[in-house]
């Protein structure tokens, strides 16, 4: 038999080296029954606690990935970059350490079974910054995923319910499916007439969103899953820095709703948050809050005595997009981050001038301007000098700090961060070694506070790299409902809620209109309604406060119906009215809804 020459691997179409088999993340199942242990018997199977337990179990079973942490070179900014930092300290490693992938024994490639790919993908803790708490990141991700999953399964489950609408036992069957998959039971008045008039999916969708919000809100106030209610330790640190109050205004964009508890890692119980479109806060409202704070110091010594040398600190967080700067920045400023920064700074200066013009004895406030990349959660700080001035065209980027300090020990990293902050004070380079340099240098307390904010943000940068591949997949709006009125302390998650803080619809009309435009693209074009939650918190120690809060809700709900009559008439806008006693850390109380049987056709 003549000998045959065996073709080379290349001619046979085989790879010369071991092929890389893609690793597919497992899809997150929705639990069919409640976990064995739960902190609240009222929270049903598919609620936040159950999904968090599922995520934790899957994470424990899944081997740590070795994918290198993603970088941030996806979008160049149009503005001038930050001033170059000082040369690296001797012996410091430059750049972010990349975890290496161990060599594996060569074996034939095996086809992986097809499975849905889950967007979040965890990486090994080996590539984290030295100041990052890996366990805290895991807890934050579990909570965020559990709440998000509870909202995301609504549409698929309602589609399944709709497929049974012609069955004789439809009402019982629909309620059984909803209890099993969503942990809620739709009221019979939304289901009874489906065989005659058809199933009103718009009303059923709105009711399910409202009920899911109620359940996750109750869980938040009962369990304090973020651990931010007690802020005594941070309050003590704040006073060490020379401040007795921290008041932060992020933009009302839902992509900044997690700015306090995630991006900056601050206790929500201590930091005042009031969101406005474009971060353009109400100056009169803030002046009133300053007066209230100073009066408490004078009359009760809370949080510290009035003669203590501390100040009220007001901060603005504007935002921008590194992936799509011209389209996915702040809509209120036309996706122009320079305009957003300038408008925020002008509003801060106007607040300071209002207080200084209205009160004597050196009354004033300190100011801080922060930018936030909504794609990566990285912040940039416009470091103010001792006189409160900041340069809008120069800032300190947390991503640069992450790179510069990643190879240091925690002590070395903290010292280096403080150096970088001082180096980025306005006019610092031009005035070194002179009296002007001393005035340009920020106060030690401001440096200490900014260093803490940047340190916390380094952990959030790692969080996005660990679980979202370096940037979020939903880089645009993906909110689930509009929140209007006053309150919403429990909303600490990204892209869950669009805020429209207001006392009357007329004064908040611009913010509301922006929210309706956002939900036109998210819901209305798909035939789904805009869920609006009108919320007013009240102090039960004040006589008649609850009744006034309920009246506020009724007035805002009526004004919404008058402003958007076509949407309401078509069933494309539904409203839930809730109040909450914030003196007793109570849960929310539902006081009315456009879905109540008595107001069918609202």
Residues annotated catalytic, as ranges: 253
Q: Pairing relation of β-strands 365-373 and 379-382? A: antiparallel
Q: d(Cα 484, Cα 592) in Å, to the nearest integer?
A: 15
CA 37 from centroid of its chain's CA atoms: 28
Q: Pairing relation of β-strands 497-501 and 481-486? A: parallel
Which one, of 317, 422, 443, lies nearest residue 377 by Cα? Answer: 317
Contact 583, 597 (CB under 8 A): no
What is the 3-state secondary structure of 16-80?
CCCCCCCCCCCCCCCCCCCCCCCCCCCCCCCCHHHHHHHHHHHHHHCCCCCCCCCCCCCCCCCCC
Task: Output the CA torsion sign for 546, 281, 256, 568.
Answer: positive
Contacts of 563 (CB under 8 A, 6+ apart): 505, 509, 512
Contacts of 356 (CB under 8 A, 6+ apart): 363, 364
Q: d(Cα 62, Cα 227) in Å, to the nearest integer?
A: 27
Report the half-sphere exposure of 388 (CA within 13 A, side-chain side): 17
Residues 556, 560, 565: CA angle, nearest 5 degrees: 155
- According to DSSP, residue 601 is labeled T
Say how many C-beta atoms besides its own lie within 10 A of residue 600's C-beta.
12
Q: d(Cα 348, Cα 364) in Å, to the nearest integer?
A: 12
Say how many C-beta atoms besides its own lie within 10 A of residue 305's C-beta.
12
Largest CA distance in the chain: 109
Q: d(Cα 46, Cα 49) in Å, to the nearest integer?
A: 8
Contact 227, 260 (CB under 8 A): no
């Amino acid at each position: 038999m003549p000998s045959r020459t065996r073709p080379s691997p290349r001619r046979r179409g085989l790879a010369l080296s071991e092929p890389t088999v893609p690793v597919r993340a497992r899809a997150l199942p929705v639990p069919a029954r409640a976990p064995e242990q739960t902190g609240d018997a009222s929270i049903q199977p598919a609620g936040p606690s159950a999904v968090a337990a599922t995520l934790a179990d899957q994470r424990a079973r899944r081997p740590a990935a070795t994918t290198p942490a993603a970088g941030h070179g996806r979008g160049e900014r149009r503005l001038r970059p930050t001033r170059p930092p000082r040369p690296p300290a001797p012996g410091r490693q430059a750049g972010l350490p990349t975890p290496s992938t161990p060599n594996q024994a060569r074996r034939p490639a095996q086809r992986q079974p097809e499975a849905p790919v889950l967007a979040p993908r965890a990486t090994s803790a080996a590539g984290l910054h030295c100041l990052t708490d890996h366990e805290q990141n895991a807890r934050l991700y579990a909570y965020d995923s559990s709440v998000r999953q509870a909202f995301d399964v609504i549409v698929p489950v309602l589609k399944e319910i709709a497929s049974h609408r012609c069955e004789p036992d439809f009402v019982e069957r629909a309620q059984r499916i909803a209890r099993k998959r969503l942990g809620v039971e739709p009221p019979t008045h939304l289901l009874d007439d489906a065989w005659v008039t058809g199933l009103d999916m718009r009303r059923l969708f709105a009711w399910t969103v409202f009920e899911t919000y109620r359940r996750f809100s109750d869980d938040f106030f009962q369990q304090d899953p973020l651990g931010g209610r007690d802020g005594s330790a941070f309050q003590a640190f704040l006073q060490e820095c020379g401040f007795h109050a921290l008041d932060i205004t992020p933009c009302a964009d839902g992509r900044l709703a997690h700015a306090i508890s995630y991006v900056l890692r601050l206790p929500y119980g201590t930091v005042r948050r009031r969101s406005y479109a474009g971060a353009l806060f109400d100056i009169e409202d803030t002046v009133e809050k300053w007066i209230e704070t100073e009066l408490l110091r004078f009359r009760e010594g809370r949080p510290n005595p009035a003669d203590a040398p501390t100040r009220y600190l007001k901060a603005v967080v504007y935002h921008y997009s590194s992936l799509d700067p011209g389209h996915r920045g702040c809509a209120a400023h036309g996706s122009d981050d320079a305009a957003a920064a300038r408008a925020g700074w002008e509003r801060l200066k106007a607040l300071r001038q209002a207080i200084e013009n209205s009160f004597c004895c050196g009354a004033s406030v300190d100011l801080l301007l922060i930018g936030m990349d909504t794609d990566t959660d990285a912040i940039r700080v416009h470091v103010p000098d001792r006189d409160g001035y900041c340069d809008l065209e120069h800032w300190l980027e947390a991503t640069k700090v992450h790179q510069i300090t990643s190879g240091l020990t925690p002590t070395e990293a903290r010292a280096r961060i403080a150096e970088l902050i001082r180096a980025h004070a306005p006019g610092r380079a031009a005035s070194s070694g002179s009296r002007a340099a001393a005035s340009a240098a920020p106060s030690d307390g401001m440096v200490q506070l900014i260093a803490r904010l940047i340190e916390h943000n380094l952990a959030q940068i790692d969080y996005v790299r660990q679980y979202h591949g370096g940037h979020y997949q939903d880089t645009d709006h993906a909110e689930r409902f509009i929140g209007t009125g006053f309150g919403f302390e429990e909303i600490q998650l990204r892209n869950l809620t669009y805020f429209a803080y207001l006392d009357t619809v007329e004064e908040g009309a611009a913010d509301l209109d922006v929210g309706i435009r956002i939900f036109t693209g998210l819901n209305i074009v798909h035939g789904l309604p805009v869920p609006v939650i009108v919320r007013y918190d009240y102090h039960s120690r004040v006589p008649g406060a609850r009744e006034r809060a309920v009246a506020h809700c009724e007035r805002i709900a009526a004004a919404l119906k008058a402003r958007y009559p076509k949407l309401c008439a078509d069933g494309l806008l539904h409203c839930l009215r809730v109040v909450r006693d914030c003196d007793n850390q109570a849960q929310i109380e539902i006081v009315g809804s456009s879905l109540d049987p008595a107001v069918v056709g609202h």
